[in-house]
Chain A
Amino acid sequence: MIPRDRGIAVSGVSKRFGDTVVVDDVTLGADAGSLTYLLGPNGAGKTTVLRMIAGLTAPDAGTITVEGRSLRAIPQLGRAIGFGLNPFAHHPKHTARRHLKWQARLAGVPADEADRVLELVGLAPVAGRLTGRFSYGMLQRLGIATALLGDPRSVVLDEPANGLDVEGILWLRELFATLTGQGKTLLVASHSLSEVEITAHRIIIMGKGRVLTDASRDDVLALGSGPRRLESAYLEITRTSVDYVAGGSAR
């Protein structure tokens, strides 16, 4: 049973698109002051879960609470949770600063918040550049800036390390440490197992729309072996699921 006052709590949530069950009775959560990673192969349902937390996709069943309150009870969700779900979501003819000022106004936070988060993600020197000319890595940073705007208590990110160079990944690692140190709730979907192995507090592995594993990092690592313990544990966990599904009794 997940306590109701976790930073983010997803309980018994299901979602189907047409005949396809994308998320099946998923229960998971993320605590304040911890970094929870959501792992799983493509199509596992990670992004759909994150989008349901963001209110972009409505669950068919189950409940989602943020700090113990249902999503509907939070008038301005963006003040409680910052979302960075799609780095390509931007107005290409806007500068980075204008892109963030637009969101600041929408969220009702001071416009100079845009400059603060641009500084935080290392984009201050290119604040006046059109986002349409940004590289993938810069767009990732802009997406993270979007999530951090207004200093929300929880942050949800979808594959934020994609496209980042080595410096970017090291920066992201430090950022996560800072945010969790501030007591924020971090829920991050990722495929970057090496980063997860280093930084995670908790690891949730999904497969075929269900939660396969939800445990502390050390408990997950204990399932693995060799130099890449998380990779070996991950493959073992997801292979079990995939093998079974391929065996003919799958949904």
Chain B
Amino acid sequence: MTHRRADDDRPADPVPVTPSVPNTHSVPSTHSVPVTHPTDPSDRAGVATFLARSVRAELAKLSVRSPLWYAVIPLAVLIPAVLNFGIAKAAQLSKIDGSGGMDTNNAAYWILVFSTFILMTGAVNSFCAEFRDGTAEIAFAVQPRRWLLPVAKLIVFGAIAGVTAMVTTFGIMWGYHRLFPDVWGRVDVFSYDGVRLWLGTPLLTVLVIALGIGLSALLPRPGLVVMLILLWKFGVEKFVEFLQGDFGILLQRWSPFRNAEIGAGQMVTFDSPFGGALGSMLYFGAISIGFFVIGMIRLSRADLRGGN
């Protein structure tokens, strides 16, 4: 037996080899039960299997009580739909006759302003809740590859948000063209600009979610993450528009979200500094994925100190 004082630097005495079993339980002695090394089937599983499990686990969490279904997606669809409806109705009532009406490459404006960030907020809130509720620790104890959690979150929320953004963009372009022909008559959902928009908007949404989850892995406070992203998009990038001279223009051309909008096919007031829409989207993608990877690395290396 070892009985040591806190300052005792001597090596510990050997652990007694005779197990002592209390009388209350008829359990076998320690040495009557050999420690075996069974081959766990999961030992042979590859990363793809673990990722599939993580994705299925994410899907298992999406109960009907998830705010994703009753708040996030409805708001992401309804806000741009209602705003576009109100503006189109007002324009139609004032009998503008289509002059100054909607162009195809401007049709996703409210989706890019609202829906993208609402969907991102849903993903950020879900990811941060894992830390607030302590469930991330359960996940990491079950599956020590911690990067699987943000990746699974991105796959699930990215897919749901991407489909939502695509359906909303397509639906608004297709439906409002018929509802308000005087105002939305020039919008063609199957034109080059139209197709690019309803394909580009979901891609942008997925990348914004990657950015949000990446930041959440660095600062797991949903309010702070959302505030930082919105502050950048609607504060900093707006502010640089007011800077005079070439420096202001340079900053605008390098603004990540501005480039993301170019990449998605939304009309903006300057050309891509990266050779076109694809280059601008790649620029924004590199930033988003960069933050996502940094977040994953930080999460994989961090000590989780727990709360109890």
Binding site for B on A (CB under 8 A): 1-2, 5-7, 17, 27, 29, 31-35, 47, 51, 54-58, 67-69, 71-72, 74-81, 83, 85-86, 88-95, 98, 101-103, 105-108, 130, 146, 153, 158-159, 173, 176-177, 180-181, 183, 198-202, 207-208, 210-220, 223, 237, 240-241, 244-245, 249-251
**List of A residues within 8 angstroms of B133 by Cβ:** 89-92
Instruction: Tell me which residues from 5 to 54 in chain B have a Cβ below 8 Å from any Cβ of chain A.
Output: 5-7, 12, 14-16, 18-22, 24-30, 32-38, 40, 42-43, 45, 49-50, 53-54
Binding site for A on B (CB under 8 A): 1-7, 12, 14-16, 18-22, 24-30, 32-38, 40, 42-43, 45, 49-50, 53-54, 56-57, 60-61, 63, 65-66, 129, 133-135, 137-145, 301, 303-308
- Are B141 and A201 in touch, CB under 8 angstroms? no
> A176-B25, A183-B33 known; 19 other A-B pairs, CB under 8 Å?
A27-B12, A32-B35, A34-B19, A56-B306, A69-B37, A91-B61, A91-B129, A105-B53, A105-B56, A105-B57, A130-B65, A180-B25, A181-B27, A199-B24, A211-B12, A213-B1, A213-B4, A214-B1, A216-B18
- Are B137 and A212 in touch, CB under 8 angstroms? no
Which of B15, B40, B303 has the largest count of A CB atoms less than 10 A from its CB?
B15
Q: In the docked arrangement, what's the CA distance between A181 and B304, Å? A: 33
11 contacts between A and B (CB under 8 A): A58-B301, A76-B45, A90-B134, A91-B135, A94-B65, A108-B53, A130-B65, A176-B25, A180-B27, A181-B26, A211-B12
- Are B140 and A56 in touch, CB under 8 angstroms? yes
A237 contacts which of B3, B61, B141 (Cβ < 8 Å)? B3
Q: In the docked arrangement, what's the CA distance between A47 and B307, Å? A: 10
Known A93-B65, A216-B18; judge A107-B142 contact (CB<8 A): yes
Q: In the docked arrangement, what's the CA distance between A85 and B129, Å? A: 18
- Are B2 and A33 in touch, CB under 8 angstroms? no
Min CB gap A104→B, angstroms: 8
**List of A residues within 8 angstroms of B30 by Cβ:** 31-34, 201
Known A94-B63, A102-B60, A183-B33; judge A88-B42 contact (CB<8 A): no
Min CB gap B246→A, angstroms: 47
**List of B residues within 8 angstroms of A106 by Cβ:** 53-54, 57, 139, 142-143
A249 contacts which of B7, B16, B303, B304 (Cβ < 8 Å)? B7
Min CB gap A156→B, angstroms: 9
- Are A68 and B37 in touch, CB under 8 angstroms? yes
- Are B35 and A108 in touch, CB under 8 angstroms? no
- Are B137 and A213 in touch, CB under 8 angstroms? no
Min CB gap B237→A, angstroms: 35
Residue of B nearest to A143 (CB): B138
Q: In the docked arrangement, what's the CA distance between A72 and B301, Å? A: 13
Min CB gap B128→A, angstroms: 13
- Are A198 and B12 in touch, CB under 8 angstroms? no
- Are B134 and A107 in touch, CB under 8 angstroms? no
**List of B residues within 8 angstroms of A241 by Cβ:** 5-6
